[in-house]
Chain A
Amino acid sequence: MRLSTLVASAAIALATAFPALADALTIYSPQGGERAAWIAEQAKAAGHDIKLLNAGGGELFDRLLAEKNNPQADVVLGMVDTSMALLKKEGLFQAYTPTWAKDLPTQFQDMDGMVYKFWQTPIVLAYYPDKLPVAEAPKSWLDLTKDQYAGKYVIGASAWQTTRMYLAGILVRFLDTSGEVSDEGWDFLSKLYAGAVVVNDADSQIEAFKSGRASIDLNWLGGTFKLAKDLGAKVKVVETDGGTPVISEGVAIMAGTDQLEQAKAFVDWFGSADVMAVYAEKFGQVPLLPEALAKSPVAVQENAKLVKPQPIDWDAIAPKLDGWLQKIELEIR
């Protein structure tokens, strides 16, 4: 008897709890923490009822693929070039040209009109001059395997977008004529891992710098600045020989959305020059829209020119990345 009362009350609680949850626009994004909170807050203020699901870029990617037949997301926001390219190839997106896209430089527009990039970030090699004298700092990503840097640089979890991107940036330097990574490349990567502090989470990452010997940060630019702020130390970004991988993050509307109008309105709002400029001011992210960049603080405009980009064809790399990561995870790390 008591059991049935419990079941009945549970059913009632469910029935009342659900309609309230059904309406919000669901957005999958690797943007987490205060950035996610800011986006949610600003979107709400602008009249968009959104619900953010944030997780690591790799995890979100898996989730989107797994949910292919029952898509939960309406909008995908902030995944990097390679992930967006693969998701598009899987047929998960639909075409929509946001109102702000006409001013976007063509290399950030999508030929199929589905994925539009809105900001970019270099994945930088940076160091802490207090711990590592300027003269001794590495000059290139390929310098890291030198004995003097052993134990001084940190490689993050391979599920992180950032880690994946700089590993790819290193491996593309070793592509042979058939487009595969040469043995020399894998030897280099083995050495890179052998000399690295390898961490699985952000906590250990900070800890390696705070109390460990780490003095070289491989990170996306905003992450580098945030880490330096948390550590209360000065950080210097290296202008590397051979260039620095620059990734851009895009937004797309899912093919299976049942809230197309709301999704369009959100994408138009989020990518607009004003929102991008405010975000740049708040978090230092470099927007791609020329108008937004012009409205951004001077520091952000300088960051846009901070490093020389490494020429990388992300679309060509995207299909190979899984195999590379598998080799890294199973044999190298």
Chain B
Amino acid sequence: MQDWKRQKAAFASIAVSPVAWLIAFFVLPLAIVWLYSFGRNVGLTEIDISGTFSNYGRALEPLYLEIFGKSVAVAALTTLICLIVGFPIALAITFAQPKWRPWMLLAIMLPFWTNLLIRTYALITVLRTEGYVNKSLGWLWESASGLKVMVGMAPLSTWEPLPLLYNNFAVILGLVYVHLPFMVLPLYAALDRLDRSLIEASLDLGAGHFRTLTQIVAPLAAPGIISGVIITFVPALGAYLTPDLMGGPDSQMIANVIERQFKRANDWPFGAALSFLLMYATFILIALQALRNRKAEARS
């Protein structure tokens, strides 16, 4: 194989367009927003980059820290549920017959091809008071009540629809629904590479299925679990559409606050500071993961 260091001209000619793309559409706009975070509003449309830290100071006030904290908790719970639900799914796909596997993967991927907004509205029609879930449950309730009357017992009390929408439960459910593929795919990738003979050995040597899962499969799939956790947690932390459309009066997450700074409050410098705080947190998370990987490599 040729080393890219010896073929610098060829490498550069290939690299120049993606690098230019990255600089023009990612680094540059982000740098401008980063500069905004050290500025202040002058009038309605001008931002004076004065190098002030007051935006960060305001972003670190207890009000916003609490919202940060709540967003982290919501994202963490979402990730945990995704892991608990996603792990058996990934296992099932791994151990399914090869001819079924592409179809099962397709079933996981399919909702992904639909716009997030449409999926969210679809979920709303399922969950709302007059939605499919409540209508089905209401029908079952009425039927049970009718049956009781038929056998001579008192009917059930009248059906009260469950509050499934416009609360924190709905936000978590919506986030899990949206982010599940992010968890399942890396888990599947990790489990698929697993050496099956290790599992057989564990079972042969007398470990039960659960013990094999926790002590053999999970440690071996750890890299997949960690990357699954990170790529689920990071977008869930920045979610704003789901809490906006499915949340109740107290379901705001940090991304909703950031959005309001750029739109309603017309305070771009403060919005920039808030979003960069979110980004610093994400960077730290990814750096920790990279550090872990390097340590693991050094050990082996």
B partners with A: no
